[in-house]
Amino acid sequence: MTKLFILSAEPYGMKEVILSVSLSEFLVLRDIVFCNYTLIHLKTKINFRFLKVYKEFFEQMEDIYGKLDSEELDAYWNFIKNC
């Protein structure tokens, strides 16, 4: 089964979006967000308002990641890498 995430700063006029994902899905999404956030073209070609919201999303994901058990994270990363 494949899930497709389409995220926008304010989808359908909503100020908040709640994602229900498994831990392994969260780890993959976090990696995608990290990679996109650190790309230079994103910071130069995107409008400032969207970049600010994306930074907040990145920081929220990092905050959640910091609260997770490191042994469980290692187990999930090993699972993801071996699939």
Q: Please give the structure tokens belonging to residue 68.
A: 């997770």
CA separation (Å) from 77 to 11, 17, 27, 40?
A: 30, 25, 8, 27
Overall residue count recorded for the chain in this entry: 83
Q: Which pLDDT band, with edges at 50, 70 and 90, does 5 fall under?
A: low
Whole-model pTM?
0.66
Q: Which pLDDT score, from 0 to 100, does residue 1 have?
A: 42
Alpha-carbon distance 69 to 10, whole Å? Answer: 31
